[in-house]
Chains A and B, each alone.
Chain A
C-alpha cells in the first residue's frame, strides 16, 4: 500500500495516530450498521417476495374474471360505469426510518372503507360486482407491496453506499495510515541511531585529543 505524502516528524506522527484511531472506530461502526441493514433488508425482501407471489396469483384470477365481465358488457360502457366513481384515491404518506434510511409508508384510505359500486346495477352483471370486490381486497396488498418494494430499493442503495465506505476504510484509508505511521517511526528511529553514532564518534575523538 502506498504511504501518504507526510513529513517524518513527531507532530505528524501523533496526528496520524489519532486519525488511525478514528478510522478504525468508524470502520467498526459502519460495519455494524451494514450488518444490521442487511439483516433488516433480508426480512423485507422475504416479505416482499411472498407478497409478490400472492398478488401475482390474485391478479391472474382477477383478470380472468374481469375478462368474463368484458365479454358481456361493452368496454365503453364499462369505462363509463367506472368513470362516475366518486372515489378519489387518497394516499397518506408517512416517513419511517430504518437505521437512518428514510422509507415511505403508505396508507390507502379507500381500502379501509366499505366498497361502493359506482354504477347502476340494472345495466351490469354480478360478475362485475364480484371482480370489484376482489380487487378491493387486493388493493391493500398492492399498496403494501409497493411500500415493501420501495423499502427494498432504498435499503439496497444505502447498503451499497455503506459497503463502499467500509471497503474504502478497510482497504485504503487504514492501511495507508498504518504504512505512513511505520514510515515515520522508522525514519525517527533512523535519525535517533544516526545521532547516537555521531555522539559516540565525537566522544571518541575528544577522548583521543585529551590523551594526546
Chain B
C-alpha cells in the first residue's frame, strides 16, 4: 500500500488534505529544500507525488531523474495562479524524444 503526497503552495494544495493525501506546503523559491523534499518523499514510499507547476518549474532535473524509475510517479498540477502549460511542454518533449519530431 502506497501513499500520496501533494507539494505546492498552501492555498492550492489544502483541498487534497480532505482526500487523505499528505500535503507539504513549500515556498517555490526554496529550490534546494524542495529538491530534498521530493527525494525524501520518493524514498518514503510515496507512489504518487503531485507538484504544482509553480514549484515544479524549478525542479526539472529532479523530475527528469525520477522519470526513469517505475515509482514514484511525479505529476504536475496547476496551482491557484493558473496553468502555464508546463505539463504539456514536458509531454511534447517526450514525444520529440521518442518519435523524433513533434507530431502533436
Chain A residues at the B interface, C-beta cutoff of 8 Å: 38, 41-42, 45, 48-49, 52, 55-56, 59-60, 62-63, 66-67, 70, 75, 78-79, 82-83, 85, 87-93, 95, 102-104, 106, 108, 110-111, 118, 131-132, 135-136, 139, 142-143, 145-147, 149-150, 152-157, 159-160
- In the bound complex, do residue A132 and residue B15 qualify as a contact, i.e. CB atoms below 8 Å apart? yes
Whether a CB of chain A sits under 8 angstroms from the CB of B91 is: yes
From A38, A131, A146, B48 is in contact (CB under 8 Å) with A146
B11: chain A residues within 8 A (beta carbon): 70, 75
B91 engages A89 (CB within 8 Å): no
Closest residue of chain B to A64, judged by CB?
B80
State the CA gap A152–B67 with chains docked (Å). Answer: 9
Contact (A157, B4) CB under 8 Å given A66-B15, A132-B18: no
Q: List chain A residues, Cβ under 8 A from B22.
A: 89
Using a CB-CB cutoff of 8 Å, which residues 58-84 of chain B contact chain A? Answer: 67-68, 70-71, 73, 75, 77-80, 82-83
Enumerate 5 A-B pairs (CB-CB under 8 Å) in ascending A order. A60-B78, A79-B17, A139-B19, A146-B73, A147-B73
Given the known interface contacts A91-B1, A95-B70, A104-B71, the answer about A79 and B98 at a Cβ–Cβ threshold of 8 Å is: no
Q: Are B19 and A153 in contact (CB-based, < 8 A)?
A: no
The answer for the CA separation of A142 and B67 in the assembled complex, in Å, is: 18
* A142–chain B nearest beta-carbon distance, Å: 7
Contact between B47 and A106, CB atoms less than 8 A apart: yes
Partner of B47 from the list A60, A88, A104 (CB cut-off 8 Å) is A104
Mask of B82-93 contacts with A, CB within 8 angstroms, 1/0: 110001101100
How many residues of chain B get a CB closer than 8 Å to chain A's CBs? 42
Question: Are A79 and B14 in contact (CB-based, < 8 A)?
Answer: yes
Interface pair B75/A149, CB less than 8 Å apart = yes
B17 touches A83 (CB 8 A): yes
Could you say which residues of chain A place their CB within 8 Å of the CB of B18?
Answer: 82, 85, 87, 118, 132, 135
Minimum distance in angstroms from B94 CB to a CB of chain A: 4
Q: Which of A87, A102, A136, A142 contacts B50 (CB 8 A)?
A: A142
Q: List B contacts of A55 (CB < 8 A).
A: 77
A150 to B47, CA, bound (A): 11
Contact of A89 among B20, B67, B103 (CB under 8 A): B20
Q: Assuming A67-B80, A155-B98, what are 16 further A-B pairs, CB within 8 angstroms?
A: A45-B95, A48-B91, A52-B91, A62-B15, A63-B79, A79-B14, A85-B17, A88-B3, A89-B22, A90-B2, A106-B73, A108-B4, A146-B50, A154-B67, A156-B98, A159-B99
